[in-house]
Amino acid sequence: MSKIHAVVTGIHGYVPEYVLTNHELSTMVDTTDEWIMQRVGIKERRILKGEGLGSSFLGAEAVRGLLEKTGTSPDEISLLICTTVTPDMAFPATANIISDMVGIKNAFSFDMNAACSGFLYALRTASMYVESGDFKKVIVVGADKMSSIVDYTDRTTCPLFGDGAGAVLLEPTTEEYGVLDHIFQVDGSGRKFLHMKAGGSVKPASHETVDAREHFIYQEGQAVFKFAVSNMADTAAAIMEKNNLNPEDVAYLVPHQANLRIIDATGRRMGIPSEKVLINIEKYGNTTTATIPLCIWDFEKRLKKGDNIILAAFGGGFTWGSVWLKWFYDSK
């Protein structure tokens, strides 16, 4: 029997309406549009406003749009995986809440957390369910309301992040398309450079942790940058080498959107020209787990059946990795 592959048969994204510009940020902290554009490449980011709305709201909007766009009934979905570092609550899983919000009832669902690499880890995990032959329609949704853990008095982190979600539908095929290979790595010792100090089981929330502003992202930017720039570039080059893909065989690189300088270095290391590197960091900033699906969604119309796409990410953990995705449909 031929091997089953998991192909992406639809993609949809959602970003909230509110646009937080560099100009507005410069009225909140000591920063400038020039600094943010030169060092990071972000012009604006989206922020989810509104009482009681969390990552599930973002994720549900993306999944609803995906179901509608692909003509899929919620009853046909057998598994939904949500990746997030900003779950609605510690439990239940945000995946369970999204399933309820969109009417998915004949499925099981769970969350994965691999920070900025979360979407790639979940895409591979979901594709293995599809490859088993037992799952016909599976959704992976990456959703992060980063504004819920950003300290808007800290100029070193507040320009970087935004809110958003992206979702894909995976289905089986015996043709040579879809999620064809991956390389994933982790180095948990990197957690000291990028984490949230309180609110977990090590340091539950207390008056002291709130007063010490420990429920926000803590990042040592330069240290993270050094690891990110080498590891993301290496993993993207490594998956090409492993699969004998030359730069001309690669249609697009879709990199995690954390810093334009990291993205440029990754493209250079792969030997591919800048027009093959898909970038939307200027519009949304770093939406953590949502950057890669949001970027594919933004450029979906360019994609053609058979395009070799390299996805590459680096993030908290540290986690990093790359995926070789052969695109399955001509997008209109």
Active site residues: 116, 256, 286
- The verdict on 43 binding ligand UT7 (CB under 6 A) reads no
- The verdict on 259 binding ligand UT7 (CB under 6 A) reads yes
DSSP 208-253: HHHHTT-SSEEE-HHHHHHHHHHHHHHHHHHHHHHTT--GGG--EE
Contacts within 8 Å (CB) and 24+ apart, 62-65: 62/12, 62/13, 62/14, 62/141, 62/143, 62/165, 62/166, 62/167, 62/293, 63/12, 63/98, 63/102, 63/104, 63/139, 63/141, 63/167, 64/102, 65/12, 65/13, 65/14, 65/167
Residue 237 CB, nearest approach to ligand UT7 (Å)? 18
- The verdict on 315 binding ligand UT7 (CB under 6 A) reads yes
Residue 313 CB, nearest approach to ligand UT7 (Å)? 8
Q: Which is nearer to ligand UT7, 47 or 303 (CB)?
A: 47
As beta bridge partners, residue 218 has 195
Please pick, from the candidates 7, 102, 116, 254, the single residue that binds ligand UT7 as defined by CB under 6 A: 116
Residue 292 CB, nearest approach to ligand UT7 (Å)? 11
* Nearest Cα residue to 252 out of 235, 230, 229, 236: 236
Q: Which is nearer to ligand UT7, 102 or 265 (CB)?
A: 265
Q: Which is nearer to ligand UT7, 252 or 318 (CB)?
A: 318
> What one-letter code names the amino acid at 205?
A
- The verdict on 35 binding ligand UT7 (CB under 6 A) reads yes
Please pick, from the candidates 67, 150, 254, 258, the single residue that binds ligand UT7 as defined by CB under 6 A: 258
Residue 221 CB, nearest approach to ligand UT7 (Å)? 3
- The verdict on 173 binding ligand UT7 (CB under 6 A) reads no
- The site string for ligand UT7 over 217-256 (x = CB under 6 A, - otherwise) reads ----xx-xx--x----------------------------
| Buried b / exposed e along 230-243 (16+ C-beta atoms within 10 A) | bbbbbbbbbbbeee
Q: Find out whether 167 and 12 touch, Cβ atoms under 8 Å.
A: yes
Stretch that binds ligand UT7, among 154-162, 177-185, 235-243, 265-273 (CB under 6 A): 154-162
> What one-letter code names the amino acid at 171?
E
Q: Which residues bind ligand UT7 (CB under 6 A)?
A: 31, 35, 39-40, 116, 155-156, 159, 221-222, 224-225, 228, 258-259, 262, 286, 315
